[in-house]
């Protein structure tokens, strides 16, 4: 009995340690993108999976033309990291720190992300020591339809009044 309680305590503690990280892992919609947050070595990163554009454009052909690195200007944005070097574990306030890439400017900034109580992801961008909220990303569920195409649906549909 005592051994069972010890094992339960250890498992419960380990679950608590990983929950902050695992809640971020998955697909998110924000800034006109679908981003997959996943483990990248010992950190978390966010890879652009889709860009919402007009019907006459193929999102997979949009290049990172504003990148300051000339060699990266010819890469496609789909498949590129927009979030990188994020801490796997949140700090005491539930915040993960790392860097965010802004493809419109071709620059990376310090960033903070935090899971909100409503399940959305708050994104902050930092310049020097000042950080401010730049947006909220919504969780997305990805499924495969009957034609084999990936379909994205908001996990928590918005209430419209």
Banded model confidence at residue 78, pLDDT cuts 50, 70, 90: very high
Q: Tens digit of pLDDT for each residue in 121-157?
A: 999 999 888 989 999 999 999 888 888 888 888 887 7
CA distances from 110 to 32, 50, 80, 95, 127 (A): 20, 23, 17, 13, 7
How, if at all, do strands 150-154 and 121-127 pair?
Answer: unpaired
Q: Is residue 50 part of a domain?
A: yes
Q: Is residue 160 part of a domain?
A: no
* Main-chain dihedrals φ then ψ at residue 12, nearest 5 degrees: -65, -40
- 131: which residues sit within 8 A by CB, 6+ positions away? 110, 112, 124, 125
CATH of the domain at 142: 2.40.128.520
Q: Is residue 161 part of a domain?
A: no
73 three-class SS: coil
Q: Is residue 159 part of a domain?
A: no
Domain count, the chain: 1
Look up the domain containing 78 and give its range: 2-154
Quick one: which of 24, 6, 2 has its CA closest to 123?
24
From the CA atom positions of the chain, what is the Rg in Å?
18
Predicted TM-score (pTM) of the model is 0.80
Q: Is residue 16 part of a domain?
A: yes
Q: Is the pLDDT of residue 18 over 70?
A: no
50 three-class SS: strand
Token pair of 158, please? Answer: 């918005």
Q: Tens digit of pLDDT for each residue in 20-61?
A: 455 899 999 999 999 999 999 999 999 999 999 888 889 999
Banded model confidence at residue 75, pLDDT cuts 50, 70, 90: very high
């Amino acid at each position: 009995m005592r051994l069972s309680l010890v094992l339960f305590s250890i498992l419960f503690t380990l679950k608590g340690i990983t929950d902050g990280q695992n809640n971020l892992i998955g697909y998110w919609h924000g800034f006109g993108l679908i981003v997959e947050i996943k483990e990248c070595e010992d950190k978390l990163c966010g890879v652009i999976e889709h860009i919402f554009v007009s019907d006459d454009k193929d999102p997979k052909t949009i290049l990172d033309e504003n990148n300051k690195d000339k060699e990266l200007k010819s890469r496609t944005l789909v498949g590129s990291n927009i979030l990188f070097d994020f801490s796997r574990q949140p700090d005491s306030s539930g915040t993960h720190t790392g860097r965010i890439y802004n493809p419109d400017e071709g620059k990376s900034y310090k960033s903070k992300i935090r899971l909100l109580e409503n399940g959305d992801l708050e994104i902050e961008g930092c310049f020097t020591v000042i950080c401010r909220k730049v947006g909220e990303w919504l969780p997305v569920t990805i499924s495969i339809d009957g034609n084999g195409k990936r379909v994205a649906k908001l996990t928590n549909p918005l209430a419209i009044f």
